[in-house]
Structure 1
């Protein structure tokens, strides 16, 4: 598969071992960078972007532990994956020390080529996906900056207009006013009344009534402005909030200028008020978007790292396939969510995406209404469905042509109920132990979503019921276990395997 090559740094003081690592890792198609000492490795790191570091624990001058500590001290390399190779028996204390220094894994000598390749491949792919997420994040940040620049440019033009203080502009979201400092009389134009949400017929303009329309936290702004003019200030500008009679809060920017007599005393203050509520809301949306992008990127990386660390398999190929399958399931649901601008995902689309790799024709029947899932619920449920499909394809109804699978769902009272029913496949027995797939399914549905997952290991095929809250406020704790409506003969057993 074509992909951008990443740099793998091999560190060992023995040329023969370095040559052996090169031969083992050559088929990965990555760039292999050689360093014969810890100091040489540090020089390479400062000049080259490295995805994974393979380092020998025992080296003269600067051993693997010391090198790892120095690498982790540099901000650029705090997330770089490091794998230690040890030719001696490593104690638990040494392992803990290695992990504290920043190692992500150990490889004993003699090195098993397949194991070493698999580990390097996994961390290389994780590095590539991390960089891809960073690029996407950067693109989004660039867009936010561009829009912010447009907004700032628009604000600058608006301020220029305010400085001209054209009292003739009374339409739209601008208003003008005039205050006779001596008599206390006020004059508002139509735009000013509109901003404050009042009418000339029902509102008398005076200091007490104007103050009553200001947000309590911004009343001091009015007092401060009056104090500044009394001190000799000739112009004043501030942002404040108004509270309309119907309770709506609006953001405004006000500019005011004083007129003085021949003795320098203030006799009149005139000003312009501009409603900037939409601008404020746009700024809040942009800030929220930036925080969400950062949060999503961190969550995706954390989930991918958890998958890599927790997946177990008896063979290297099975391990790699399991990790790739789970990460691909996560990538598929991210694609669906991105198309909806992260507003949510339809359950039927999640199921279709998981069905796509199997091409099983008439073996599967789906039945259920359109159900919109929150982004967090969609991500978690997609991984749970992936585990069910994967297990069925390996051991259940989807492993044979005679097997049948029915998936039905319904939503009622903010609770999604999904029934997974297999038949016609190999005889089914209750598993003796829990695998990662079952454990992750239970943990995700019950702990993360506050739902429940119940299994009935029937001889003719697995019957599974997932109950998932559709709103965040209901996802607190799993409800009490109940019997299947579709299985009146016995209560469901919670998964033990």
Structure 2
């Protein structure tokens, strides 16, 4: 079927990608307009009516987010559909930022032609239908103005109903309602029933039943709205929660407007309800992430501070090397935990990170199953392993080509047992006193994790056995600021 072509704006600073988008979208039969920068895109928008904007997130000078913000500031383009193309992994926070800037969808790279065409086609058709609806509404209004006063009332009601339905379709997760202030009759559309989790066949819309679905803490919002309309308020907006019959709590924002008669009395109140639960949850996730990042950063900085303050050495170079080694070990485990969103870390990954500099000719042998560690346990064990590797490289089996090291571990009854066995290195003698590394290892494993650390200084090589619980909540998981103080105290005692 023939239809009026619409303009689609393609924005990317790479000509090859623009050409690829043109090839993908040419079969849609629309007008494709090209812009190689954000500024050029703005110039095009001011001169041309655009239905859909396809924009690359990463561009020099003016990136996709900045361009979207500038476009949304102009009244003409506040409803223009924008689709972001991103060649990088987009996080929840980046998606939230994009939607706040006005994006209606994301397309990842590599682009799937069928998916891109489908998305562009949907918004092109929506734009075309919207323009057609605007023209039809204009024609309808012209006819209404030509009709007699007897028909004006019924025509106005039809137009109001059409406007509410159009708003609900365009916005999504939206419902509209109408309340006859004189008779008390209510009208809910399908979207309103869907938001409240009820159906028209069983739910009678009246003030008592509606109030029963409101969250108890938000019931006063309804009473306040009624009181304000009675006192002359013409419009009202508020956020509130509903409790669906199945117990699910949903966040909504409601907007209502009053219709008055010639005597200034309220005769009807109409409104729109929008389900904003996902937005609220995104805000909660963002706040939780910010608090978690702050908590983890404080813990890491406090532990690093303790390492710097308590490390001992006879020479500056030795001191620097010791501090750098311990902080690098902490950084490596931090990276592993970050990749898992701080859910935990595999023991084998911790060991692999620490042994990387010492993997010489098969001197090291590992044996053990996959074991998931809590974040606090992973941090402590990473530092303990670092001390063992460092001492072995200086004085033990890893200091010679003939030395051998076996690291074996097993997990039983929610308890991890790790064995460190050296052989073939220099003759070992029991040390007269323990260094800071050994003392801090004992303090952290035994006091912080509630485990045990045993050292057997055999002549043929060190035998160390570490036992730690896998499920115990350590100080690092009980709240901000507790692990750092405990760790500092234990290391202070370890430093003697």
Task: Provide the residue aligned with 1:20 in structure 2.
Answer: 20
* Structure 1 residue 348, shift from structure 2 partner: 1.4
Q: Structure 1 CA distance, aligned partners of 2:320 and 2:472?
A: 34
Q: Deviations over 1:374-395 (max 9, x none)?
A: 4333222211110111122223
**Which residue number in structure 2 is paired with residue 337 of structure 1?**
337
SS of corresponding position for 2:489:
coil
After superposition, the C-alpha distances for 1:65-103 in whole angstroms (9 at most, x for unaligned) are 999999999999999999999999999999999999999
What CA deviation, in whole Å up to 9, does each residue of 1:320-367 have, x standing for no partner?
221121122122223333444444432212111111111323221112
How far off its partner does 1:173 sit? 1.1
Go from structure 1 to structure 2 and tell me whether the alpha carbon gap of 1:451 and 1:111 turns closer, same or farther (over 3 Å shift). farther
1:126-147 Cα deviation digits (max 9, x unpaired) = 9999999999999999999999
CA separation of 1:184 and 1:294: change in aligned 2, threshold 3 A: same
SS in 2 for 1:464: strand
Distance 1:236 1:337, change over 3 A: same
Other structure's SS at 2:422 match:
strand
Stretch moving more, 399-408 or 96-105: 96-105
Judge conservation of contact 2:144–2:155 (CA < 8 Å) in 1: no
Please state how far the C-alpha of 1:277 moved relative to its aligned partner.
0.9
Report the Cα distance in structure 1 between the residues aligned to 2:435 and 2:141, rounded to whole angstroms.
Answer: 40
**Residues 264 and 200 of structure 1: is their aligned pair in 2 closer, same or farther, counting only changes over 3 Å?**
same
Alpha-carbon contact 1:242-1:252 (below 8 Å) kept: yes
Moved more, 483-492 or 76-85: 76-85
Judge which range, 392-401 or 244-253, deviates more: 392-401
8 Å contact kept, 1:483–1:491? no
Query: 278-287 or 72-81: which moved more?
Result: 72-81
Return the offset for 1:211: 1.7
8 Å CA contact retained: 1:11, 1:54: yes
Preserved contact between residue 476 and residue 483 of structure 2 (Cα < 8 Å): no
Counterpart position of 1:192:
192
Using a 3 Å threshold, how does the CA distance of structure 1 residues 215 and 349 change in structure 2: closer, same or farther? same
More displaced stretch, 435-444 vs 56-65: 56-65
| Structure 2 alignment gaps of length 5 or more | none
1:393-413 superposed Cα distances (whole Å, 9 cap, x missing partner): 223222333332221223345
Contact 2:303 2:488 in 1 (8 A): no
Structure 1 residues 387 and 274: alpha-carbon distance in aligned structure 2, compared to 1, 3 A threshold: same
Change (3 A) 1:149 1:207: closer
Residues 164-193 of structure 1 deviation map (CA, whole Å, 9 limit, x = unaligned): 885553984111112222332222222112
TM-score after normalising by structure 2: 0.59
- Alpha-carbon offset, residue 257 of structure 1: 1.1
Deviation at 1:239, TM superposition (A): 0.6
**Is the CA contact (8 Å cut-off) linking 1:456 and 1:463 kept in structure 2?**
yes
Task: State the Cα distance separating 1:222 from its structure 2 match.
Answer: 1.2
Shift of 1:150: 48
CA distance in 1: counterparts of 2:70 and 2:318, whole angstroms: 35
Structure 1 residues 117 and 245, CA, compared in 2 at 3 Å: closer, same or farther?
Answer: closer
Moved more, 171-180 or 218-227: 171-180
User: Displacement, 1:312?
Assistant: 0.6
Shift of 1:196: 1.5
Q: What pairs up with 1:456-495 in 2 under 5 angstroms? A: 456-471=456-471, 473=473
CA distance in 1, matches of 2:86, 2:372: 51
User: TM-score normalized by structure 1?
Assistant: 0.59
d(CA) in 1 for partners of 2:142, 2:304: 25
Q: Which moved more, 1:68-77 or 1:309-318?
A: 68-77
How large is the Cα RMSD of the aligned pairs? 20.5
For the Cα contact (< 8 Å) 2:259–2:266, is it kept in 1? yes
